[in-house]
């Protein structure tokens, strides 16, 4: 029985990692950009890097470290909150799957709920609770662990990156992985595409506000697309 249980767990873990790898690859350049931003931030380098394990939300991290020293503390806080507004929608969508999970999973699992984890986990909500939990945690921890080294490497290679590749293009890179995710999920794809294009167009704004403008545009566009998809589905059902 133990052998069967172990084999089952290993199968779920392998499936989770296999699903996660294609979505992590486009996040690597964003991790490098964030690492570069850490080295150029007004924050001490180590404090800036700590945003990776403590915040674990790339877009919000980038806003915090780039606005530090150039904007008020309230502007930094508002930027992080606005950028992460989309997580409210993610949480609402995942709530039924988490209702049957133990309390520790509801607390810890929510910390791991980034865009890529949501895109993969939402397709697994029909699994039994224990199997879903195993898959979710395997995906979430895969992204968490690898995100740490991606940002750390970015801090090392950042100084040799040409100036023309640097933070002015960070908003577009920020949404690169989400565009690929959005191929199968229209609202997320719309949010990623709009956010990336608007962020790139606004890259020259003072105090790196292009990051915030792009994020707000993406959230609004994604919300509109989500509403229209829901309305269409409801019409089709009736």
- Tell me the pLDDT tens digit for each residue of 139-194: 999 999 999 999 998 888 766 656 555 555 554 555 554 544 444 456 666 666 67
Q: What pLDDT, on the 0 to 100 scale, is given for residue 106? A: 92
Q: Which of 48-62, 103-117, 119-133, 189-203 has the lowest mean pLDDT?
A: 189-203
In Å, how far are 122, 232, 234 from 228, measured between CA atoms?
A: 19, 6, 10
Distance CA 209, CA 76 (A): 10
- Section 201-227 average pLDDT: 66
User: Residue 237 — pLDDT band, cuts 50, 70, 90?
Assistant: low
Q: What pLDDT, on the 0 to 100 scale, is given for residue 138? A: 94
Cβ–Cβ < 8 Å for 116, 20: yes
If we measure between CA atoms, which residue out of 223, 216, 174 comes closest to residue 65? Answer: 174
Residue 160 phi, psi (nearest 5) = -100, 0
Strand partners, 68: 71
- Section 29-55 average pLDDT: 85
- For all residues of the chain together, what is the average pLDDT? 76
């Amino acid at each position: 029985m133990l052998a069967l249980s172990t084999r089952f767990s290993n199968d779920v873990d392998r499936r989770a990692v296999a699903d996660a790898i294609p979505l992590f690859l486009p996040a690597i350049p964003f991790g490098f950009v964030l690492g570069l931003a850490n080295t150029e931030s007004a924050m001490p380098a180590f404090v800036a890097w700590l945003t990776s394990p403590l915040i674990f939300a790339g877009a919000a991290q980038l806003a915090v470290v780039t606005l530090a020293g150039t904007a008020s503390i309230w502007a930094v806080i508002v930027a992080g909150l606005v950028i992460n507004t989309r997580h409210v929608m993610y949480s609402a969508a995942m709530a039924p799957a988490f209702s049957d999970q133990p309390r520790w999973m509801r607390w810890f699992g929510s910390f791991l709920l980034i865009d890529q984890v949501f895109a993969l986990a939402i397709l697994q909500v029909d699994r039994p609770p224990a199997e879903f939990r195993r898959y979710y945690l395997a995906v979430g921890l895969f992204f968490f662990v690898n995100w740490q080294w991606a940002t750390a490497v970015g801090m090392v290679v950042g100084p040799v990156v040409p100036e023309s590749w640097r933070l002015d293009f960070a908003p577009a890179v920020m949404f690169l992985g989400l565009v690929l995710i959005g191929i199968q999920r229209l609202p997320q794809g719309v949010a990623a595409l709009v956010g990336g294009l608007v962020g790139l167009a606004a890259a020259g704004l003072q105090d790196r506000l292009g990051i915030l403008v792009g994020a707000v545009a993406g959230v609004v566009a994604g919300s509109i697309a989500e509403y229209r998809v829901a309305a269409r589905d409801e019409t089709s059902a009736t």
